[in-house]
Structure 1
């Protein structure tokens, strides 16, 4: 690749070494100065229009998922699991209601936020969430992505905890065109956190009844051709080409395919925060392209990542009422 058009990944690795932040979350952007206006437009908040420290300083966990409804359901589930009471006459409030892009619920020290579909949508939200946590003076925050995915060679309804996120070329970095150059940001996740989640999934009764895998996740920029589907509006390859590709990436260690993990992993690394991706598989892509399970079954499967992450949060909060 032309040197004038890209920065080699080895240089970016030196620039983006995974260093977990200790204490209050600091922004790695010298242009956002203390005391200046910072409008978090897409979640309808700002450091001058809202008392972000009073509202969010106690946040220790940020849970992201694609669907607004699903993240509302997760917030309700957390209220029960963490035994958090809401004052009489009040209910869960979408704090980002001033915008129609995302939803954001606060349940004690946990944020439950929708990120939409795909890397661009997640990217916008992640920038603003990190700035929110910084302005609020938060420290030692852990991020989770809870999602759905297509599995590879594993039963539908299984959980995959991502050990490494790769792009559509099986490369472990997210490439961003910045100032006319392709910059490569490595996409590492916290291995200790992934192992802790796997241990919970394998030992806790509420996580039994389905398989859980630790494996690589391929993140694509497209739902159809990028994932080797045959059922899109366009397709320029044959079924045998699809199967050869899926078998090849399965042999490479890929256990599921989705559209956000690469950005999530690279941004967690750049921000210096712990992060984990837990996705349920809705089908086995080696057996087909379309999700055909009944709606009630899919609803149950989609709660499986929520149960695991909620259990982790509950244990790390000591199971105490907040």
Structure 2
């Protein structure tokens, strides 16, 4: 059965809410649902006033760890001068153990767990949340960690496109027994804007490059230290060097579905990940806890600066 490639033009049709800058909901069946329950957020359209709670959201920052997203929410609280960054912030999704969500002014911070299935579930419910809340002109940024390819640990990679393990810029999903292929390009103008912000901060190396999104952490990323390994070290190095030659600068596990779903939904999106090691030098992370903690703060610092700058221009 031949794969189905979705028409790129279809991804830019007017949304049900109407007009440019609105959220596109590509599901006509939602109109027949009396109450939309966002089960994994513990939110529902009958039990919560979405517009009152989230209508002012302009920036959504997502990352794998609940702890890291709470830390980002506290950080942005201080950066936007909306309170004491040391104060505790309530988890909006406290009624579930799947995801954590924090709101600071126009910024929403949400954890998404690890891997494509976990972030996909979160994104379905996030997109519906933004739609029900009548949000407009929303920018969504994934901030996280990754393995670098050919760049120093601690470097920040801004993704221009997410590629699969065959270096193709596409996300494949089986729907009703058919392979559906979706585009994974990210907005170049937003990537350049983030790069300019990093240059203004001038504290760490930042590059724009392709990001390889894999289905697992070990064999899918050509590691030699998993419980199962079916290739030689030479084959591993040939593969990683070929990835570098293809313009890939880091590897993680969420960017492909993130890019595809945001594109279909009319959301400006970016992926900003710090590299914890150079995979051409080895497979295991050896930096100290203190060094890794500082590395993990770099995407948060860059995105925080970007948000402050955007708000100041309004």
Structures share fold, TM-score greater than 0.5 = yes
Equivalent of residue 197 in structure 2, options 188, 191, 200:
200
The yes-or-no answer on 1:16 pairing with 2:11 is yes
Equivalent of residue 77 in structure 1, options 63, 75, 79:
75
Note the residue ranges of structure 2 that are not aligned, 5 or more in a row.
Answer: none
Q: In 1, are the aligned partners of 2:151 and 2:278 still within 8 Å (CA)? A: yes
> What CA distance in whole angstroms lies between the structure 2 residues aligned with 1:35 and 1:289?
48
> What CA distance in whole angstroms lies between the structure 2 residues aligned with 1:158 and 1:197?
14
Equivalent of residue 171 in structure 1, options 164, 168, 172:
168
Shift of 1:12: 3.7
Shift of 1:17: 5.1
> What CA distance in whole angstroms lies between the structure 2 residues aligned with 1:186 and 1:314?
30
Shift of 1:14: 4.7
Moved more, 77-86 or 243-252: 77-86
> What CA distance in whole angstroms lies between the structure 2 residues aligned with 1:140 and 1:186?
21
> What CA distance in whole angstroms lies between the structure 1 residues aligned with 2:250 and 2:308?
27
> What CA distance in whole angstroms lies between the structure 1 residues aligned with 2:32 and 2:49?
15
Aligned residues: 309
Runs of 4+ in 1 over 3 A off after TM superposition: 11-21
> What CA distance in whole angstroms lies between the structure 2 residues aligned with 1:85 and 1:146?
23
The yes-or-no answer on 1:53 pairing with 2:47 is no
Shift of 1:33: 1.2
Give the structure-1-normalised TM-score: 0.92
The yes-or-no answer on 1:250 pairing with 2:244 is yes
C-alpha distance after superposition, 1:243-295 (max 9, x if no partner)? 00000110000000000111111111110110000000000000000011000
> What CA distance in whole angstroms lies between the structure 1 residues aligned with 2:33 and 2:285?
49
Residue 41 (structure 1) aligns with: 39
Residue 306 (structure 1) aligns with: 300
Note the residue ranges of structure 1 that are not aligned, 5 or more in a row.
Answer: none
Give the structure-2-normalised TM-score: 0.94
The yes-or-no answer on 1:275 pairing with 2:277 is no
> What CA distance in whole angstroms lies between the structure 2 residues aligned with 1:281 and 1:18?
36
RMSD: 1.8
Q: In 2, are the aligned partners of 1:57 and 1:137 still within 8 Å (CA)? A: yes
